Amino acid sequence: MEFTRSHHWIFLVILHLAGYRFVMTSNPKPNFVLMIADDFGIGDIGCYGNSTIRTPNIDRLAINGVKLTQHIAAAPVCTPSRAAFMTGRYPIRSGMDSGESRVLQWLGAPGGLPPNETTFASILQKQGYSTGFIGKWHLGANCESSNDHCHHPLKHGFDYFYGTPFSLFHDCKPGGIRELDVHIEAKLKLLTQLMAFAVMTLVIVRYSNMLTISRNLILYSALFTVLFFITWYLKYGFIHYWNCIIMRNYEIIEQPMKVERTASLIVREAQQFIDRNKNAPFLLIVSFLHVHTPMITTKAFTGKSKHGIYGDNVEEMDFMIGSVVNTIDNAGLENNTMIYFASDHGGHIESKEGKLQAGGWNGIYRGGKGMAGWEGGIRVPGIFQWPGVIPSNVEIDEPTSLMDIYPTLVHLGGGDLPKDRIIDGRDLMPLLTKKTAHSEHEFLFHYCGFLLHAVRWHQKESGAIWKAHYVTPVFFPEGAVGCYDRIVCACEGDRVLHHDPPLLFELSADPSESSPLDPHVDPYKTVLNRIKMAVAEHQKTVSEVPVQISRLNNLWRPWLQPCCGIFPFCWCDKEDSNVTEIPE
Ligand SMILES: *[C@@H]1O[C@H](CO)[C@@H](O)[C@H](O)[C@H]1NC(C)=O
Ligand SMILES: *[C@@H]1O[C@H](CO)[C@@H](O)[C@H](O)[C@H]1NC(C)=O
């Protein structure tokens, strides 16, 4: 039999279509599942060298993928680090860092991720991705009214949000320790007591006929005292209603949140999101409330670890990670999904609950949460798994940043980086797929608020890593390894030391930053000069922007308060489920 010309043509078209289909199905856009822990130390994990804590699910990701051992957060506290992660830029570029209050402290405050910042989620959304954010946001809520949602995840590239727009704080746990503004509150309380005492004195003086005092004076001062009390008590007395809420998209589901079931609901939501979107490319961020204080752990994990309430909480989070990974596997998506796990910054070494240790461990690294320059606050776990694309069981000790997620995902998702702004992150795929041996980062700048505390130089020729500290926090009490007399160390003022000449460490030889180099001996001068030039170059690229988390922008405004009733009567529980067990 002979093909006619037209048969031939049809045959070619069929071949072409088949080929096209082949390309479409064998090389579709990958899914992204990014899991971010809160305050989790690099020393808290089995695959990073901890032999007594059990993290089999995190370890499994590392065995099946790439483990980064020099993965650096752009800031040592939540809000700025997360802002940098979402925008691929140092937080000072978006106004999301400040030495004044460091993190957002009220959901009813106007600060937050500015509407003109473009997250990688926004870019992926335009590339056809379904985008979900589940868990802790902590990048702001409203700008001008209680429901303009200007900083909300749904305004920053996500189709779906479930979780707390704020964070977990001690104040969220009923009957727990008070955390926010405790000193201010104590002063206000004392002032109220003094005022009440004065009113009582007036009453006694009047009725014992010692002096003639007008009734109105007594009435007005009593009224003033009561109003004064109501004003501050409204703010602090109901703090768990104001800050601790759960939202689904724009709807408030729990106010206050029921902390004991949040872990289970986060896993349930993540699993449902994956199941709903398994036929489309999707981006899912699971941002755990673990292992931030207060330690809230379900019964199944309580008392099970070798490291008290903190260890229990870590092992529970590991189980949650396993549940999410299992869902991906069960949906048959493992070969087409890039999974990433990291922590927003280092472990909070000072953190205690009563007398119990409630903060993480940063292994051999000095310092922790809140201490910009010291390695313990910024060197975090970073693991990638993508079978068939990223090799398995590989360790990479090159400087990388959480900001790198931005360009990496944008490229993989087929989008373009914004051209009108600086993106500080670098595409990680060449490094992860071993196409190149070195990361693109030559310098990383370690800020604490507005102040540049330290700079890391990755010397390309020699491979050496240097770190210069211009400012370091003063640990208190003296000799301690953290600032145990306050929640987190300060960035500026009399609680930091300015070093001139700067402290210089050869990080590649001295990862614990224990012996600074002698300024009079080479190569101190050469290294410092090179770093100085880089700082000058970098500073030219930093422009002034409105500060989002200034003291003023961190003040509670009742009219910005998300409220599921009529303010100040804000309480609701629309969560039908009473699940307390974490789904597998
Ligand atoms: C393992 O982690 C726990 C909890 O943070 C910590 O107390 C312990 O010192 C760590 N052990 C090692 C060997 O790093
Ligand atoms: C993923 O790839 C591996 C290795 O090629 C293969 O054994 C496995 O069956 C794949 N899984 C799925 C769900 O296709």
Q: Which atom of ligand 1 is nearest to the CA of 361?
A: 5
User: Which is catalytic among the residues 7, 47, 71, 78?
Assistant: 78
Give the architecture (CATH level 2) of 5-100+114-172+254-560: 3-Layer(aba) Sandwich (3.40)
pLDDT reported for residue 178: 79
Ligand closest to 334 (CA) is 2
User: What are the angstrom distances between the C-alpha of 541 and each of 10, 97, 424, 538?
Assistant: 58, 16, 11, 5
Q: How many angstroms does the Cα of residue 39 sit away from the middle of ligand 1?
A: 14
Which residue of 51, 59, 307, 364 sits with most ligand 1 atoms within 8 Å of its CB, as the best mutation to test the pocket?
Answer: 307
Instruction: Please tell me the residue having the least CA distance from ligand 2 atom 11.
Output: 335
Please answer whether residues 556 and 232 qualify as being in contact, where contact means their C-beta atoms are separated by less than 8 angstroms: no
* Other CB atoms within 10 A of residue 180 CB: 18
Residue 206 backbone phi and psi in degrees, to 5: -65, -50
Question: Is 78 labeled as catalytic in the residue annotation?
Answer: yes
Ligand closest to 389 (CA) is 2
pLDDT reported for residue 27: 58
514/517 Cα distance (integer angstroms): 10
Which residue of 330, 334, 338, 385 sits with most ligand 2 atoms within 8 Å of its CB, as the best mutation to test the pocket?
Answer: 334
pLDDT reported for residue 484: 86
Angle at 168 between CA 167 and CA 171, to 5 degrees: 120
Which residue of 53, 351, 365 sits with most ligand 1 atoms within 8 Å of its CB, as the best mutation to test the pocket?
Answer: 53
Percent above pLDDT 70 for the chain: 95
Long-range CB contact pairs, 450-454, < 8 A, 24+: 450/92, 450/97, 450/98, 450/99, 450/491, 450/492, 451/99, 451/372, 451/491, 451/492, 452/535, 453/372, 453/373, 453/491, 454/372, 454/373, 454/374
Question: Is 138 labeled as catalytic in the residue annotation?
Answer: yes
Alpha helices in 498-541 (DSSP H): 524-540
Least confident interval from 50-59, 154-163, 206-215, 315-324: 206-215
Ordered by start, the domain boundaries in the chain are 5-100+114-172+254-560, 182-238
List, chain by chain if needed, residues with CB within 6 Å of any ligand 2 atom: 332, 334-335, 387-388
Q: Residue 45 — very low, low, confident or very high, per pLDDT cuts 50/70/90? A: very high
pLDDT reported for residue 213: 84
| SS3 label, residue 115 | coil
Angle at 362 between CA 404 and CA 426, to 5 degrees: 10
pLDDT reported for residue 23: 40
Q: Tell me the pLDDT tens digit for each residue of 247-259.
A: 999 999 999 999 9
Q: How many angstroms does the Cα of residue 363 sit away from the middle of ligand 1?
A: 7
Indicate if the pLDDT at residue 15 is higher than 90. Answer: no
Q: Tell me the pLDDT tens digit for each residue of 343-400.
A: 999 999 999 998 999 999 999 999 999 997 999 999 999 999 999 999 999 999 999 9
Question: What does the mean pLDDT of the chain come to?
Answer: 93
Q: Tell me the pLDDT tens digit for each residue of 93-113.
A: 999 999 888 899 999 999 999
Instruction: Please tell me the residue having the least CA distance from ligand 2 atom 12.
Output: 332
Q: pTM of the predicted model, to two decimals?
A: 0.93
470/453 Cα distance (integer angstroms): 5
Q: Tell me the pLDDT tens digit for each residue of 299-326.
A: 999 999 999 999 999 999 999 999 999 9
